[in-house]
Structure 1
């Protein structure tokens, strides 16, 4: 066992985390930086934005170990000073920052809206929405910003319909998204006002759903525990509102970023959108490899955890109270798990073990829907605009500065 001790006095000498990409990596997809991490020591010391030291775990097996170890607590990290990487981690009522058994109870209830069967039943409607957006795109001027007119709008429309949120309010909750899913640190204080505004908005919607329920997830949450036989599923109003707010904000941000990266990669190929498979199984494998190889975050892919007792990860002793960041996006480039990890190989057995959507009890609830959205979006684009191409040189594309996700600012295309 290796034991490394780093005092608070020497924390400033540690590498910074989240990653600070160089000029070339800031323009591209970040894969090289994560691949570099994955070939180093699987457990290393870094410095968080607060200045606090933490353990960065990048090896595939080591990340899996952390994400399935109850001693690596999200709840403890959310309540610990300086342990957070993203602003949303400071929201202690969020399902993202809870441990079992509270997390288990909430996830069981909200998971009813994200079963594989329910998600697959959404596929025709998602395909229909994609077609409608492409109709609008075709009727507009060229070049068009595919990011704003499609990559952003499709996930937003899907989550609004799934939750039962008015699409016309999108700019309000996009602003709250920017405040809550943002890197934290001394120069980025938590925006409590944005959080309270989001909770008040969801609270009003929940009250309306109780009066006139619909076939949507907020109606399911609003009714949870309301019947005489539903005591095990009882939710407080605070829990319902917190769940609804988390699902709304997290339900489109990552898919927007991922879809943009996937489309950029595809348009960079000689055959462009014609390289997208049309057979369902092949299309699913293509998307699985794309999301493995195109990391969307600068923060590693998972929220921070804190050791509640001494534990060992990859032969390294982590003491109780120390912070752990299990970087799933780096683990996806571990050559021991994914030979030649920078190569695009849809034939890999990705579906069972790539970790773009997390792993363990906090595995992304909406991952089945996100996969379908990306699949149907790429298929619709291939069918409607097989000759689509970038309208500017690729090197002119830039990501939104300061955002947690690698979301493109503009994505001009023509056809």
Structure 2
């Protein structure tokens, strides 16, 4: 059994290209079905698969008897509507121990834009549950991910990898504080009501802004989040008319198209008499049209723009990274040992089936002898002798066959298997 992975992330691909391969959680099941169906009719009919898609990465993990990286690459390029050559120039491919090590590093927060951040672990668990629900997760990938979660837990327990980390939400607060002298005098609008917006709202609420509002497609969900921060909820459709009211706009939705356009922002600036607006687009694909950034009184940041801020303090965690890598190496070795043993499973199954066949034959023979009135001792003697002869027949035949060298090799193997002393 082999494992392979391919993907692109914040270090290998620009934001707009990553946006082409972003899958919302409710898209994972049909996307996995499409991927696995693409293998039908070739030499990889039973491919396990899982997809991890976040604002910083999209990764596909697969497992099958044989690695099929080229096929997976072609499928992903087609799904994103890009040329395979363009995708290859920004993607990475991994297999077996490299794929396992990468999965363990991602789960542990070592491959994140925010070194040591914990959010990716929850996102990976969501992706695994989605793959399992879709029927795409087999024993091999299940082992890979369960072991990655265990390694991540050990890394967090045994090291200080998460110490001093700056989240994307905290970075947004820091940048807003550089633009506005007093955040308590600002009005903040959050667009969306997902996990990232929840985190961002928590950080901004701690600064006690003058007003907080949540704009969401589903009003009920927006109201639930707004009530936690003493804010108001509005429908997404009302956003363009009310955009001018807010000094800070943080957006992160699952929309496949921008929901805040250049025209809406221009009208808001005019109504604000060109007072500055601070905007953060945490969505992939983008929620805010990129042309907005060129407006004179707009300070627009994307997830990639926040990279420099969140990397501050990384030097303080290098010792923890070294400790984490040791834990990950041990986890990789353990997984590869397990994966190697999986190759003997068919043989073990065949041996068990053969042994069951012999046992059934001897049991049937014993029942017949008992029915004829044979003594129990005689029947047991015959059954044990019959089983022994069946078990030893193949070994004895091999021992007497072939040339002297092969007989010597067979003798050593049989001695090791059958003449082991009890310890």
Higher helix share: 2
Higher strand share: 2
TM over 0.5: no
TM-score of the superposed pair, with normalisation by structure 1: 0.23
